[in-house]
Amino acid sequence: MPELPEVAVYIEALETRILGQTLTGIRLANPFVLRTVDPRPADLAGHAVTGIRRVGKRIVMELEGGFFIVIHLMVAGRFRWLAAGAKIPGKIGLAAFDFDNGTLAMTEAGTRRRASIHLLRGDEALRAHDRGGIEVMEASPEQFREALARERHTLKRSLTDPRLFSGIGNAYSDEILHRARLSPLQLSTNLDNDEAARLYDATRSTLRDWIDRLRARSGDRFPEKLTAFQEGMAVHGRYGQPCPDCGAPVQRIVYAENETHYCARCQTGGRRLADRALSRLLKDDWPRSLDDVE
C-alpha cells in the first residue's frame, strides 16, 4: 500500500503535470471504484486543479468551485501518466482523469477491488476523510509523545493507527522500529524518555530518507513501481534474509493478512516474538530465541 513517502512523491509528480490544468473529463472503467453519487463526474469537468495534497494515505485534488477528488489507492492501486486521451489499461484499469496535456490513469492489480474515488463538494465533506492523526514531519517531540501515549497499544499498532499518526502503514512502521531499535510489541505507554526520543527521530528520518530515495529513483519521470516492498528496505518484506546491520535473519509475525518484520538481535535482545499461527501449532517446540534456530 502506498504510504506517506510514496504518496508524497506521487503528489510532487502530479503537481508538475496537472496543477493549473483543467480537468476535461473523468472516465470510469469500473463503476464500483466511485463511492459517491453527488457531485457527478460530469460536474467536475471544466474546472482547473488548484491544489494537490495528502490526507493520511489519500491523495486529494482540489478543483475550482470547491470540488475535491479524493483517491485512496489502498493495497494494489497505482497511477500511470499517459498521453492525452489514452485508453484505460485493460483488466487492471479503474479510471482515467483527462487533461489537455495528458491522462492520469488509475489501476489496481489483483482481483480484489479496494481502491476508491470520492468526489466531494466543500471543505466539510473533505474533513470527514481525515482520521485525525498528527503529521509526524511537522510535530514536536512533545506532540509525538502525547499521540503515542493516547492509547495503550503495541508500538506497531500505534504507528499504523491513522487516528494517532497520519500516513504510516505496515511497511514503514517496520522500518521505523528497526531504526529505533525497538520491539514492535513494546507497549506505547511503557517507553522511557530515551526510547521515545529514538522513536521520534527514527520516524522522521525514515520517512524523510525514503521520500528522498523515491524522488531520486523517479527523477523527472512519473513514479512507477511504488510498492509496499521497496528495494533497500532493512527488514520489511525481507523475512529470512540477513539484517543489513547485524546479519541475523529477519523474523516475522503473521496476523490475519498483515506481516510484521523485525530483527530479533537489533530489536528484541535476540528473542523471537511469538507468531500466533506457528507458535500455537508448535507450542513447546516454538524456538524462543535466535540461538534456537541458528
**What is the C-alpha radius of gyration for the chain, rounded to an integer number of angstroms?**
21
Please say whether the beta carbons of 47 and 131 come within 8 A: no
134-144 mean pLDDT: 97
pLDDT of residue 291 exceeding 80: no
d(CA 249, CA 287): 14
Distances (CA, A) of 20 to 79, 101, 169, 254, 290: 19, 11, 31, 45, 56
Q: Where are the domains of the chain?
A: 4-127, 141-292
pLDDT at residue 1 in the model:
74
Mean pLDDT score, 73-81: 94
The pLDDT value recorded for residue 63 is: 98
Query: Which of 74-83, 97-106, 189-198, 276-285 bottoms out in mean pLDDT, i.e. has the lowest?
Result: 276-285
> What fold characterizes domain 141-292?
Helicase, Ruva Protein; domain 3 (1.10.8)
Percent of the chain at pLDDT > 70 equals 93
Torsion, Cα of 167, 169, 174, 175 (10° steps): -40
Phi then psi dihedrals of residue 103, to 5 deg: -125, 130
In 19-154, which residue ranges form alpha helices assigned H by DSSP? 41-44, 123-127, 141-148
Computed over every residue of the chain, the mean pLDDT equals 92
Burial of 35 (0-12, 13-18, 19+ CB in 10 A): exposed
pLDDT of residue 248: 97
* pLDDT number for residue 225: 76
Contact 250, 177 (CB under 8 A): no
Q: Can you tell me whether residue 232 is helix, strand or coil?
A: coil
Domain 4-127: which topology?
A: N-terminal domain of MutM-like DNA repair proteins (3.20.190)
Model pLDDT for residues 277-286, shown as the tens digit of each residue = 544 433 443 3
pLDDT at 256: 67
- % residues pLDDT > 90 (the chain): 84
Burial-class residue 75 by CB neighbours within 10 Å (0-12, 13-18, 19+).
middle
**For 192-236, what is each residue's pLDDT tens digit?**
999 999 999 999 999 999 999 999 999 999 998 787 678 899 999
Residue 224: the pLDDT is 82
Q: DSSP 3-state assignment of 28? A: strand
> Which one, of 159, 155, 162, lies nearest residue 267 by Cα?
155
